Structure 1
Amino acid sequence: MIELAQDSGIWTATINRPEKANALTDKMLTELAEIAEEAGQPGGARLLILTGAGKVFSAGADLDAMQGGLATSPVWERLSSAIAALPCLSIAALNGTVAGGAMGMALACDFRVAVAGADVFYPVMKRGFLPQPSDPARLAALIGPARSRLILLVGQRLDAATALDWGLYDRIAQPGALMDAVRDLAADVLAATPQHVAAIKRLIP
C-alpha cells in the first residue's frame, strides 16, 4: 500500500489505499520510515516526494489499528524524524485532505505543496490522544503558537487557502498540476550538487 518510484534521484512515495482514505497502518508507516531512512543514505534520493493516491492525502491512523495502540506507537516519530533529518530536499505533495497523524510527515518535510481542496485538521483533543512529540514544535515554527493552539486544542479545520495564508502550506497547485508544481519548486535543488543542498539545509534551524 506504499508505492515507491525512483527516477534520476527523485523518489516518490505514494500512499495507495484510496478506498480507506489512505488511512495508515503500522506496516505502512514502517515502510514509509524505511524509505525515508534509505533516502538519506549516501547515493540515496536527491528529492523525496510524499503523496497519496486518490482525493485524500491521508486520513491519519487506521481506526481499527488506532484502537490497537497505533495512535501512541513510536513509528510515527520514527517516520517524521527520518524525514526531518534528510540531507536532500523533501516535499509533501498534498493531493487532498491531511488529517490527524498524517500531518506529522507533512510537517517534517521542507515544503508542502497542496491542491486547492487539501483541507487540514489534527483532532487529537477530540480523539483523546496527544500529538506526536515533534509535531507541536514543528507546527508552531511554521504558523506560531496561537494558531497551533487553534488546531491542536480547538480542533480548527483549515481550508487550503487559509493554510497557505498562515504559512502551513507553501504553494497551491493549479488543478491537475500538483507534480509540476513540486518539480518547479525543486528545480534549483535538482540542478545543484547533493553536498551543496545538504550544506545549506544544515544552516537552517
Structure 2
Amino acid sequence: MIEVAQDGDVWTVRINRPDKANSLTRDMLAGIFEAAGAAEAAGAAAFVLTGAGKVFSAGADLEEARAGLATDGIWEDLSGRIAAMPCLTVAALNGTLAGGAFGMVLACDLRVAVPGAKFFYPVMKLGYLPQPSDPGRMAALIGPARTRMILMAAQRIEAETALSWGLVDRLVAPEDMADTVIELTEAVRAAPVAVRTGIKRMIPG
C-alpha cells in the first residue's frame, strides 16, 4: 500500500489505498519512514509524497486509530524524519488532506495541490492533541489565528483558501501534477549535492 519509485535521484512515495481514502496504518507509516531513510542514504535530490485516487490521505486508519495509532509517536517520528532530510521535499497532494496525514505534509519544503482538495485536522472534535510539531509548523506557514481556525475551530479549508493562506504553494490540475513535480525538482536534479544541501540549510524553517 506504500509504493516507492525512483526516477534518477528523485524518489516518489505513493500512498495507494484509495478504497480506504488512503487512510494510514502503522505499517504504512513505517514504510514511508523507511523510504525517507533510504532516499536520504542514497543521496536523493528530491523526495516526493503523493497518493493514489482522489484523496491524498484521510489520516489514520479508523480501526488502528481506536487501538492507539491516533496517539502513536510514529507520526511525530515520521514528520521529524522528513523535516530533517537534506534534499528538497515535495507534497504533491492529489486530493483532500486530513487528520494525522497533515504532519508529513507540513514537514515538506513545498506543497502543491489539486483545486478540489480540502484540508481539515479535526483533533478537537475527536478529543486528541495534534502531533507536537504540527501546530508550530502550521503557524509558521499560515499564522497563529488561522492555525487556531483549523485546529481549535475544526474548520474545513478549501483549496483556494489554502493557497491564499500559504498552506499550499500552488494549485495544479490533476493532469498537470506529474509535469509540475518535474518542474519543481529539475533544478535540484542538476545541482551539485553541496549546493542543494547548502541552500536548504541557509533557508530558515
C-alpha deviation, 1:175, in angstroms: 3.7
CA distance in 2, matches of 1:127, 1:52: 24
Correspondence for 2:135: 136
Correspondence for 2:78: 79
Correspondence for 1:56: 55
What are the ranges of 5 or more consecutive residues in structure 1 without an aligned counterpart?
Answer: none
What are the ranges of 5 or more consecutive residues in structure 2 without an aligned counterpart?
Answer: none
Secondary structure of the structure 2 residue equivalent to 1:50: strand
Correspondence for 2:12: 12
Q: Deviations over 1:139-179 (max 9, x none)?
A: 00000001000000001111111100000000111241111
CA distance in 2, matches of 1:190, 1:166: 29
TM superposition outliers: structure 1 runs of 4+ over 3 Å: none
CA distance in 2, matches of 1:9, 1:200: 18
Q: How does 1:103-118 map to 2 (within 5 A)?
A: 103-118=102-117
The letter of the residue matching 1:31 is: G
Correspondence for 1:174: 173
Contact 2:29–2:75 under 8 Å retained in 1: yes
CA distance in 1, matches of 2:130, 2:182: 31
CA distance in 2, matches of 1:54, 1:190: 27
Correspondence for 1:158: 157
CA distance in 1, matches of 2:123, 2:194: 38
Q: Deviations over 1:30-63 (max 9, x none)?
A: 110111122222x332111100000000000001
CA distance in 2, matches of 1:164, 1:65: 32
Q: Deviations over 1:80-125 (max 9, x none)?
A: 0110001100000000000000011100000001011111100000
Correspondence for 1:184: 183
Q: Deviations over 1:170-200 (max 9, x none)?
A: 0111241111112212222222112211111
Secondary structure of the structure 2 residue equivalent to 1:5: strand
CA distance in 2, matches of 1:113, 1:183: 12
C-alpha deviation, 1:78, in angstroms: 1.0
Q: Give the alignment's TM-score, normalised by structure 2.
A: 0.97
Secondary structure of the structure 2 residue equivalent to 1:186: helix
Answering whether residue 133 of structure 2 is matched by residue 125 of structure 1, we say no
The letter of the residue matching 2:3 is: E
CA distance in 2, matches of 1:44, 1:59: 30
Secondary structure of the structure 1 residue equivalent to 2:175: coil
Among all aligned residue pairs of Structure 1 and Structure 2, give the percentage whose two residues are the same amino acid: 60
- Aligned pair count reads 204
Answering whether residue 99 of structure 2 is matched by residue 100 of structure 1, we say yes
The letter of the residue matching 1:27 is: D
CA distance in 2, matches of 1:102, 1:53: 14
CA distance in 2, matches of 1:57, 1:44: 26
Contact 2:94–2:174 under 8 Å retained in 1: no
The letter of the residue matching 2:58 is: A
CA distance in 2, matches of 1:193, 1:136: 34
Contact 2:3–2:16 under 8 Å retained in 1: yes
Which 10-residue stretch deviates more, 49-58 or 195-204? 195-204
